[in-house]
Amino acid sequence: MSRPAHHESGQAAPLYITAVVGLLFLALVFFVFGEADVKRNGAQSAADAAALAAAQESRDQLENDLLGNLLDGDYLQDVFGGDFPGTYNGCAEASRFAERNDARRVRCDMLPGRWAFEVDVESNKAMSANLVPGTEGQRAEASAVAVVEPRCAFRAAEPSPDEGNPPSDPAEEDESKPSPGKLVCDTRDWVIDPEHLDVVPDMADLFAVRLAED
C-alpha cells in the first residue's frame, strides 16, 4: 500500500515546485511594477513642486517693478489684464525644488504667450538591477506646467471734473497726484492711494499660482 502513496507524492513534487516558482515570479513582477509606480509618483511630485516654485519665484520677482509703476494705469492694465507674459525667469528655483524631491531638472522653459513654466524632471534613483530584463537603470520621468494668474482686475479711476485744467499753483500739482484707479480682487477692492504706495497687498493676494493641464 505504501508504493502508490510514494508514487503519488513523487508526481506532486514537480507541480508544487512549479506553482511556487510561478508565485515567486508573479511576486517579482508585482514588486517591479510597484517600484515603478512609486518612482513615477515621486517624479511627478518633484515636477509639480519644481514648476510651482519657478512660477512663484517669477511672481515674487515682479514685486519691485509693480511697486515702481503703481501710478501707471497702462502698466497696471497690462499686468492685470490677463495676457501678461511675465518678465522674470524662476527656473533656478525649479532646480532647487526638484533636488529636494530626489529628482533632477532636465528642462525648464517659460512658455510663450502666457505667464507659465514647463518643467521636465527625472528621478535620481534608477530602477533596481536584475529584476526584470529591460528595466535595469531606467529612471522615472515626469512633466508639469504651472501658471501665474491675476486675482485682481484693474479699474481706472473716473476722470475728475477738473482734469485738464492747469492748477493755479504749480506746487499744487506735485502735492495732489490723482489715484490711477483700483484693483478689484477676489476678496476685496484696493484703491491705489498715491500717498501710501508702500501699503500694498501681498503678491500672493494679487496673483495665484497653480498647476495647469498643459
Q: Which residues of 120-152 are buried (b: 16+ CB within 10 A; e: fewer)?
A: bbbbbeebeeeebeebeeebbbbbbbbbbbbbb
When pLDDT is cut at 50, 70 and 90, the band that residue 213 belongs to is confident
Express each pLDDT in 30-79 by its tens digit: 445 555 556 688 889 999 999 999 999 999 999 999 999 999 999 999 99
Task: Summarize the confidence of residues 96-121 as an average pLDDT.
Answer: 92
What pLDDT was estimated at residue 111? 94
Question: What are 153-166's pLDDT values in tens digits?
Answer: 999 988 765 555 55
* Predicted confidence (pLDDT) at residue 181 exceeds the cutoff of 70: yes
pLDDT grade for 1, boundaries at 50, 70 and 90 = very low
| Non-local CB neighbours of 21 within 8 Å, separated by 6+ positions | none
**Whether pLDDT at 192 is above 50:** yes
Task: Say if pTM beats, i.e. exceeds, 0.85.
Answer: no
The whole-number average pLDDT for the span 114-135 is: 76
Tell me which H or E stretch contains 141. strand 141-150
